[in-house]
Amino acid sequence: MDEQTPNIGMKRERPKKGPSNVWLFFTKYGDDTRCKCNYCGKDYACSSKSCGTKTLWNHLESQCTKYHCAKAAEDKRQKVLTLGAPNNNLDCGDDMKNVTNLVAVGFDKEGCRKALTRMIIVDELPFSFVEKEGFRDFCRIAYPRFTLPSRRTLARDIFRLYVDKKFKLRKYFVEKTPRVCLTTDTWTSIQNINYMVITAHFIDCEWKLHKRILSFGMVPDHKGETIGKIIESCLLDWGIEKVSTITVDNASANKVAIDYIKRKLKNWNESKLVLGGNFLHVRCCAHIINLIVSEGLKDMNDSIVRIRNAVQYVRSSPSRLQKFKTCVEHERIESKSMVILDVPTRWNSTYLMLSTALKFEKAFDRLLEEDGRYGLYFTECKDDGRKKIGPPNEDDWSHAKVFVQFLHVFYDITLKFSASLSVTSNMFFHELCSIATELTTLTNSLDYLLSEMAGAMKSKFDKYWGKIEDVNTLLIIALVLDQRYKLDYVKFCFGDLFDDNKVKKMTFHIKEISIQLYDCYKGVDNISSSNQVSSSIPLENEVDVGKTHENSDFRLERLKKFKKMKEKKDFVDLKNEVERCLRLRQNFLQLR
């Protein structure tokens, strides 16, 4: 039949109707014979054979008040009041800082997409989370107008967010040229894949400290030249020209990498290096402390292994843990936390295991009496054929008390050095002096166990920090710039570590480097701009800096001792000056 010939005598088919739009606002249940409103939850009959949708439309138009509020919120011109973020304005009183604000909010599709993307990143959720049935039902009921993206669209949104953030940060590095401190580390996964991360710390124009991960990816090997080339490409990619320091662990390959970067930075622009890059290399303090403590615990491993095996037995099954809890209740031990198992290669986790296990010493003894399997557990052989060491005896618990008391100082220092959102350079020399003093005191202890452990750690300490030449001088100058301490306090601390000739030499060296550093910044920075920036320092930063050293009794006692010695010295100097003036006056009168 010709396409232009009309279909005479043929029955015309009616187009099929789709489902009514009313089902966007109602949900069926009970074999599709009943439905309820998505907003107020009111129930209606909805059988397709006996009921129409007019009743449902009447409910939406005249009865459901919650639907009208939601409809007003969907209107771009109509906004609704909602609770906003807490008021963090510094000018308001303390009573108003935690009060939430009422803000007018309208529907923003792009804003919802960005908020969803940020939620996936911040909460570390998988991309498939947006396709989960429960989350989609929640969004459909909470806000039907927002269309959820798929996981592939979400991945594109996250990558777009990363590109936007990188563009803004790179633009800041190029235009403002802040001085950046880099931290890098490499490791090998259990799949024998090498990884490397580069982190940047810098201070913005408002004197706020920022931390950003610039690079994270696989590397072919851990050679120094390879590491140096990756750092170089990272600096070129981000447009970073001013590098203050690079913090690395104590591997020999990292020294080769630092020398490589120093040569490249000098070729780019030597004037942008701090004192020619002589103090570019900073060795990770937390890594050195880890080496020092591991050396001390090397020969004291038997007591730790016995306690570790006991904890491992308790944590190996729910039934064993329940029996242990029963023993804890019978011994009336009150503790909010339960025993934890450590990672043998990390001494700080071993410290936490010992400190918590000591609270349950009586419970472990009771478990040995009431649970026969606990004693048989230590007769079993390990994979290598040797029997497990244990259970812990009285000597092991006494050794653990010594370990915990001794390691508490190093654990606190490690936490301070590992802080990434606060300045830590001005703490270094304080903690260096406290470690040296603690090790020297404990080496001369009458306790053989404690003295032997401190002696092994002291030898490791001398290897890395025994010579002041091995310490980056900028870390000491950071303390000199602190108005509470200055150069006199550094000289006072040198007196506890070195002899008088060494103290004079090191004090003169620190003073010379400070003068050179001042001349370096004087020739580069604009004084007028720095004065303008310093006036915009927020109040909370000053409070944070003031609390930096108030938590250490060791530093406070040392500072009080230093002030008393200085007052005594000033008094003696004044007395000598007065006596000298009196002698001059007496000689003058005799000549007359």
Q: What is the pLDDT of residues 22-43, one digit of tens each?
A: 888 888 887 778 888 888 888 8
Residues 47 and 143 in one domain: no
Check whether residue 355 and residue 432 sit in a common domain: yes
Average pLDDT over residues 339-363: 86
d(CA 276, CA 386): 57
Is 371 within the bounds of a domain? yes
pLDDT at 549: 39
Q: Are residues 47 and 142 in the same domain?
A: no
Backbone angles phi, psi at 278, to 5 degrees: -70, -20
Q: How far is CA 391 from CA 319, 331, 344, 349, 477, in A?
A: 19, 19, 18, 20, 51
> Residue 283's beta-bridge partner residues?
248
Question: Tell me: the pLDDT tens digits for 302-325?
Answer: 888 889 888 988 888 898 889 988
Structural domain containing residue 249 = 177-283
3-state secondary structure of 53: coil
- Same structural domain, 496 and 406: yes
How much is the pLDDT for 25? 84
367/489 same-domain check = yes
Of 335, 357, 332, 354, whose CA–CA distance to 344 is shortest?
A: 354
Average pLDDT, the chain: 78
pLDDT by residue (tens digit) across 297-306? 776 678 888 8
- Residue 145 within a domain: yes
Residue 299 belongs to a domain: no
Residue 255 lies in a domain: yes
Q: Does 400 score more than 70 pLDDT?
A: yes
- What is the mean pLDDT of the segment spanning 500-522? 84
Q: Are residues 150 and 242 in the same domain?
A: no
- Each as own residue / partner, the long-range contacts of residues 3-9 (CB below 8 Å, 24 or more positions apart, any chain) are none
Asked whether the predicted pLDDT for residue 341 surpasses 90, the reply is: no
pLDDT in the model for residue 550: 38
CA atoms within 13 A on the CB side of 301: 7
Do 494 and 365 reside in the same domain of the chain?
A: yes
Judge whether residue 88 has pLDDT over 80. Answer: no
255 burial (CB, 10 Å; 0-12 / 13-18 / 19+) is middle
234 lies in the same domain as 273: yes
* Ranges 84-98, 205-219, 431-445: which has the least confidence: 84-98
Q: For 237-241, 415-419, 502-506, 537-541, which range has the lowest pLDDT when averaged over its residues?
A: 537-541
**Is residue 344 domain-shared with residue 201, that is, in the same domain?**
no
| Residue 207: inside a domain | yes
The CATH number of residue 236's host domain is 3.30.420
The verdict on 404 and 508 lying in the same domain is yes
Mean pLDDT, rounded, for 446-465: 83
User: Within this chain, do residues 63 and 143 fall inside the same structural domain, yes or no?
Assistant: no
The percentage of the chain sitting over the pLDDT mark of 70, rounded to a whole number, equals 77
Gap between the Cα atoms of 196 and 184, Å rounded: 7
List, for residues 356-379, the tens digit of each pLDDT value.
999 898 899 888 888 888 888 887
pLDDT value at 100 more than 80:
no
248 belongs to a structural domain = yes
The residues, ordered by sequence, that sit 6+ positions from 411 with a Cβ below 8 Å of its Cβ are 348, 351
The domain boundary, picked from 495, 528, 561, lies at 528
Percentage helix, strand, coil for the chain under 3-state DSSP, each rounded to 5: 60, 10, 30
| Residue 89: pLDDT band with limits 50, 70, 90 | very low
Q: Tens of pLDDT along 42-59?
A: 888 887 777 888 888 888
Of 528, 552, 577, the position where a domain reaches its end is 528
Of the ranges 86-95, 202-211, 575-584, which one carries the lowest mean pLDDT score? 86-95
Structural domain count of the chain? 4
- DSSP conformation class of 15: P
CA distance 478 to 472: 11
Which range has the top average pLDDT, 71-80, 153-162, 555-564?
Answer: 153-162
- Band the pLDDT of 548: cuts 50, 70, 90: very low
Q: State the pLDDT at residue 507.
A: 86
**Residues 251 and 125 both lie in one domain:** no
pLDDT at 289 over 60: yes
Q: Is residue 508 part of a domain?
A: yes
Which of 528, 548, 577 is the last residue in one of the domains?
528
Q: Which two tokens stand for residue 119?
A: 């939620």
Q: Is residue 578 part of a domain?
A: no
